[in-house]
Structure 1
């Protein structure tokens, strides 16, 4: 497990991939014994799982519960479910804005005596993919509006922020402005790091004609998803016309999409028996 794949991040990734119900039905709690076993497959030991679960519970994303059989487990809170649902469109759809769709502006002012909230607000806007247009003025493609509203309301930060939708009218070309608002070199480096780590995995699976082995598919998919799900937030789907030539974001999205199509359901065949307490498929 690398520094990037922290226990807490992997648990959130697991719930997003496999810990929710299908067809709109809510899932029951994940037994803690099953969660420990499933995280062991990606290199996380039992004490780290328990510690990370406790932190996620304190943050209000997980809630303690009992399974139908009476085993101790953890399910998603309503806030946790909303967080994952907000992420689905970005992570799996990876929407890309068109130049004419406009921008979302977040203008905020936080009193000095509440500077801790100012720091939280800035960090959350950055995680949502906002760039900095000016002090107290952050900008993102207009399509992130709903998720931004949900996030600010969930964290109690909406009272400090006004949201506006608009268009860039000058005075410099919009492509040059975008290069000021976002660190495009750093974003491109993140895309290339994903490709370096996971494109070889896709090539390896592409050479195989047999059905993927469930445990191996689960491990490769969970690690790829854990790496990928950060990228549509760091890069919020900026219009392609405003990005440098040979931008690696599209290629990274295609690699993740292919891994998702190849491995997600195969990995579920490993997860299901573990969740049910039966021997897992190898």
Structure 2
């Protein structure tokens, strides 16, 4: 399905990014992973090299690039290496992110800079470096930011203004670039309706929280649906439930770790909307 296409994805050494990379490779696409985790983390499984091996063991093609997207030269080097290896870039997924749910007084300048540097600035710069290559794509070029709809409800700012500002910066890239590159590159955002269980989530909240979460598979399935859309499907803030429903999924329980359990709502989404039909 994606044979001949190259995906450049940030932050894919584990979690949602890893799942997307593997599922894309299964369908014949080339994958370039740009992330900073080259050595095993003492508490979190996964490196760029372990994901590369997983993909290659499945018969796929993967390039692992050590890249901290806070640094422009590292992004440029990763993009250049990808183009040299695979001949171009057709899809960009800005997945890398940093989070700190701290209030104003408890958010250090170092933590603020980390979130802004990875989420907003890193997404902007990675997009900037990939756009010249996306414009040359022989396929339908896509950019997907793993970021939320721009919900201005003040409750999503209270208590963690810095994180919200940084995350919304990613979404504002979608809003602006979708219009700037209309009919040339498709830019969309994707966000989960519920919490997604990852190794990082387990480290923060314990293994029992899995019962209130969905698996990463709902996000990878959503990405694959978006990548099948024509270039005029752009500037949207897609929710995973909407994407998989459009793809023909009728049983969302397949993504839950424990069927019938009450799921934890994700940030930035108000609870009175049916996200299986709502197009934001």
TM band (smaller chain): under 0.3
Q: Counting helix residues as a fraction of each chain, which structure ranks higher?
A: 1
Scaled by the length of structure 1, the TM-score of the pair is 0.26
Q: Which has the larger radius of gyration?
A: 1
TM-score, structure 2 as length reference: 0.26
